[in-house]
Amino acid sequence: MARAGLSPTAVVDHALDLIDAQGAETLTLAAVAARAGVATPSLYKHVAGGLPELRRLVAVRTLDDLTDHLAAAVLGHSRDEAVAALLTAYAGYATGFPRRYAALPQAPDPDPELTAAGERLVNVLFAVLRGYGLEGSEAVHAARTLRAVAHGYASLTTAGAFQLAEGRDVTLERLIGVVVDGLADWPGGRTA
């Protein structure tokens, strides 16, 4: 019988706590079981596919959390304000959960649930870009640009790459300015 209070959701919670505290490289079933206070074989009642399934569930949860964070940030904003809110929220999520963020898969995965989570995230980007009148291929190129900027800034920041004395918040502000200026002149888009 499964331990009371332990569920697939609780197992993922323990896995995320472990990642946040020690990094994704420490994620093992034994380490999660120790955090949950159960024997390792007990986890298979909740995560039948073992460590690969747990990694997948962690990735889906993290993508969903990031998507929810971004969607809440852009709600009620459009165009430049939405882009600023999106990029600021993205950077905030990555710096708030640097080890969790670093563990996110960046390449497509054939898993349907992980693919759906990635599509939800991309749909937030498309929603922001609608304010610029971008559709079809140009919306895809613009969404890729937003993702590249957001991920690049987040990855460099969480890796500790920005060591000069100037504040990173000013860098992010300048980066947002470059992006919104570029979107205002994007091919196929419309001006305000």
Q: 57-94 pLDDT, tens per residue?
A: 999 999 999 999 999 999 999 999 999 999 999 999 99
Q: Which two tokens stand for residue 132?
A: 């610029």
Residues 14 and 64 occupy one common structural domain = no
Is residue 2 scored above 50 in pLDDT? no
Residue 111 CB: number of other CB atoms within 10 A?
A: 16
Dihedral (CA of 185, 189, 191, 192) sign: negative
The closest of 89, 100, 37, 30 to 63, measured between CA atoms, is 100
Contacts of 188 (CB under 8 A, 6+ apart): 133, 134, 135, 136, 138
Residues 139 and 71 occupy one common structural domain = yes
What pLDDT band is residue 31 in, cutting at 50, 70 and 90?
A: very high
84 vs 91, 93, 138, 182, CA distance in Å?
11, 14, 20, 13
Q: Which residue has the higher pLDDT, 117 or 164?
A: 117
Q: Which two tokens stand for residue 122?
A: 């991309």
Is residue 151 scored above 60 in pLDDT? yes
- Looking at every residue in the chain, the average pLDDT score rounds to 90
Q: What is the DSSP string of 38-94?
A: S-HHHHTTT-TTHHHHHHHHHHHHHHHHHHHHHHHHHTT--HHHHHHHHHHHHHHHH
Q: 35-64 pLDDT, tens per residue?
A: 999 999 888 889 988 999 999 999 999 999
Residues 36 and 124 occupy one common structural domain = no
Residues 105 and 62 occupy one common structural domain = yes
Q: 154-179 pLDDT, tens per residue?
A: 988 888 888 888 888 899 999 999 99
Is residue 5 scored above 80 in pLDDT? no
Residues 90 and 134 occupy one common structural domain = yes
Q: Which two tokens stand for residue 162?
A: 């920005």
Residues 88 and 161 occupy one common structural domain = yes
Total domains in the chain come to: 2
Of the listed ranges 105-109, 110-114, 155-159, the least confidently predicted one is 105-109
pLDDT of residue 192: 61
pLDDT of residue 108: 64
Gap between the terminal Cα atoms of the chain? 60
pLDDT of residue 169: 87
What pLDDT band is residue 4 in, cutting at 50, 70 and 90?
A: low
Residues 82 and 164 occupy one common structural domain = yes
pLDDT of residue 150: 93
Give the residue numbers spanning the domain of 35. 1-46
The closest of 50, 57, 59, 15 to 36, measured between CA atoms, is 15
The CATH code of the domain that includes 116 is 1.10.357.10
16 vs 55, 79, 98, 131, CA distance in Å?
10, 34, 12, 35
Q: Give the mean model confidence (pLDDT) for residues 122-133.
A: 94
